[in-house]
Chain A
Amino acid sequence: MTDYPTLTPEQLDSFGRELDAIRDRHLADRGKRDTEYIRKVIRAQRGLEVAGRGMLMLGFLPPAWLGGTAALSLSKILDNMEIGHNVMHGQYDWTGDPALSSKEFEWDTACPSDQWRHSHNYMHHTHTNIVGKDRDIGYGILRMSEDEEWRPYYLGNPVYAALLATFFQYGVAMHDLEVERIQTGETSLAEKRDMIKSIWHKVRGQWLKDYALFPVLSGPSAPFVLAGNATANLARNLWSFTIIFCGHFPDGTHEFSEEETEDETRGEWYYRQLLGSANLTGGKLFHVLSGNLSHQIEHHLFPDIPAHRYAEISVEVREVCERYGLPYNSGPLSKQFGSVVRKIFRLALPGGGGGEAEERSGDPVAKRDVVVRAKEDDALLVA
């Protein structure tokens, strides 16, 4: 880890212990406050859903269509992010309530929950930002790291990104199919047959509900209901894509190699999670709608602590980072997402390691050094 701020092994150990202490304290503090919070969000989500679908039944009236679509979009966003993602992380398993059990929860997207738990909770969170192991780096479709070899196919990076964003719930659903590995022959369709069946089962369920049953049940409003439901799904796709892509791709985030991260200690694991993640600033409502993935750093340090606690935890984490001289990457949505979009375009071309820096030096290692430090300064300023 030579390009980034380095810590000695002792410092890394003590860094790990300090973060462990924060974690233990919050885990021990879990109680009624958390259960009441998540139930409040769930009630809001279900209420918005029922209200949205109800209003869409009168969708031939423009205000009803707009209101209904907005309400349904919000309900799908909450279901996907603040509720689904967090519950499936096991953040509420301790309650013993089957409605909050990570193993039993199913969310209203095309991705079957068991596949999500495998590809996200396990693969992504364990191998975060390790090139070659974390398949969230590009989803096998995009080039999102300079360390990934360029191919002419990647000239379409922006197009693939736009398509992925539009159909994000399907992109997520197909994530565990490892399509790029099927193409190289490392795995085969036959091995994925059960997963495909499971995905189809979920997709069919949603299509039936959103594009057949509810439209038909609403009689003359059918086309409005159909349009409203499709728009709500699209809104959820675009929003979740935006938030999620701001998690690990803005300027200043770091990737790691498999060699660097072999035999990681706990302190080193925390270190990689910190340096690989970026936060978004915003108000309380923004945090809820982002599923608290606006606190991506805190989420990656403590994935199974109830997410509504990340805001207060971030104060403690910032303080620890300051003391150890570590960067804390945080910025408003426009800035962070802007840098992600620029990255997508940049990496569509060969090399692509930082626009300005490329002109300064041709040496890849030095280039990265400069880019990293420059972006770090930006990030620290903003933080």
Chain B
Amino acid sequence: MQTVADTSRFRRARRSTSRQLGNRILRSSLVEALAAPHGVDRYLELVRPLWNASEVRGEVVRAERQTARSVTIEVRPNEDLSGFRAGQFVNLSVEVDGKRHARPYSISSSEHRPERVELTISTHPDGLVSHYLRDRAQPGMIVGLSTGDGEFHLPAARPERIVLIAGGSGITPVISMLRTLCDEGHEGEIAFLRYAASPELALYDDELAALAERHPNLVVHRAYTRFGGGDLDGHLSRAQLDAVAPERAGAETFVCGPPSLLEAAQTIWAEDRIETRLHVESFVPPTLEIQTGTAEGRIRFEGSDLEVANDGRSLLEQAEEAGLQPESGCRMGICHTCSCRKRAGSVRNLLTGEVSDTEDEQIQICVSAPVGDVAIEI
């Protein structure tokens, strides 16, 4: 019997040849020479933003609000993302008020349907991007994407027995795994445990029911941790697991959700001495604590594989002290010669006093001092 996975593979193989031919012409050295020095992409993207080969982008083709605090978008990528594995994430970027912001979101669709990648974004209390998407995502919107990444994914050789545990917004990578297995016609037992605060905040309820109906080897157990009323009572516990997944020692278990869920699972699996069977992905919301005052923390120079303690001076001075030779110029925040990427952490602008914790941000290191731990690209 031909599965969805088989059909998909066949369709993709056929389509790629015409795309390849188009690319061969556009990326030919003749066309590049004609479009020098800006490059072909800078002309094509003015006609259609998706026609940019150096950046992975996508067009939103569907936007649905399953709950008040989330948006589910289906994105058509401009590039073949078929390399991604169920459970991985992509870096989604959107422009908010003229400035690009990127956040990682797990792909929730099946591995075998890479032409339409689905993402479900849940709002964080202070989240800029999540709120923007929840409010504004609609068909036609162009977003930046990336190829799939991450260590949390289904292994190439599918385990016979699988337990999938999802808490809140952590359902996204896990349901990708489930959909993938269903597309493959997986016949082994799958136990799906879904924890949500309440039915109003529960994602993918209908889909889970439909899949369970179509696939007799799949059993879905729901728990509503705030008010009860599901198949399971309250938060993850050994009692629940014994009831619905007694054979878990012989299964591979994938869990994603808030820290409390992950800790509970890790504790139980450790007690049973089957830690190697448990695979965990953390969705901890970004902490927005900004430390001010005394010089604390460490600076990680990622490009040089070097780490030093922060002494409060500008990043340029501390880099030079550490023996690095970053490019610099006026050393007063005017010429941008020293500008490079801060990957993580907070910095204070020595001219304005402003503190910024934006991830992956271009900063002028001659006028930026670390506030706490910082990682920069040099």
Contact = CB atoms under 8 A, between A and B. Distances in A.
Contacts of A209: 33-34, 36
A34 B98 CA distance: 7
Contacts of A103: 339
A46 B43 contact: yes
Nearest to B55: A98
A33 B99 CA distance: 11
A93 B46 CA distance: 20
B71 to A, nearest CB: 21
B325 interface: no
Given A34-B98, A98-B55, A50 B43 contact: yes
A121 B352 contact: no
B210 interface: no
Interface in A199-257: 202, 205-206, 208-209, 213-214, 217
Nearest to B336: A90
Contacts of B360: 96
Given A32-B98, A46-B43, A95-B98, A213 B34 contact: yes
A258 to B, nearest CB: 16
Most A CB within 10 A of own CB, among B34, B54, B334, B361: B334
B147 interface: no
Interface string A86-114: 00011001111111011100111000000
B37 A106 contact: yes
Most A CB within 10 A of own CB, among B30, B38, B361: B38
B362 A96 contact: yes
B23 to A, nearest CB: 20
Interface in B29-61: 30, 33-34, 36-38, 42-43, 45-46, 54-55
B140 interface: no
B284 interface: no
The number of chain B residues touching the other chain, given as a range, is: 20 to 34
A117 B335 CA distance: 8
Given A31-B97, A31-B99, A205-B36, A46 B330 contact: no
A102 B339 contact: yes
A208 B33 contact: yes
Interface in B327-366: 329-330, 332, 334-337, 339, 351-352, 360-362
B95 interface: yes
B337 A93 contact: no
Contacts of B55: 98
B42 A205 contact: no
Nearest to A302: B334
A34 B337 CA distance: 22
B37 A107 contact: yes
Interface string B53-74: 0110000000000000000000
B226 interface: no
B200 to A, nearest CB: 34
Contact of A95 (B38, B54, B99): B99
B352 A24 contact: yes
Contacts of B361: 96
A96 B97 contact: no
A186 B93 CA distance: 49
Contacts of B351: 20
Contacts of B352: 24, 27
B277 interface: no
Interface of B: 30, 33-34, 36-38, 42-43, 45-46, 54-55, 93, 95, 97-102, 329-330, 332, 334-337, 339, 351-352, 360-362
13 contacts: A35-B95, A35-B99, A46-B46, A95-B95, A96-B93, A99-B42, A101-B362, A108-B36, A108-B37, A121-B329, A202-B37, A205-B33, A304-B336
Given A35-B99, A46-B38, A98-B54, 18 more contacts: A20-B351, A35-B98, A43-B46, A93-B336, A94-B99, A96-B93, A96-B102, A102-B336, A106-B38, A117-B337, A122-B335, A126-B332, A126-B334, A206-B36, A209-B33, A213-B34, A214-B34, A303-B334
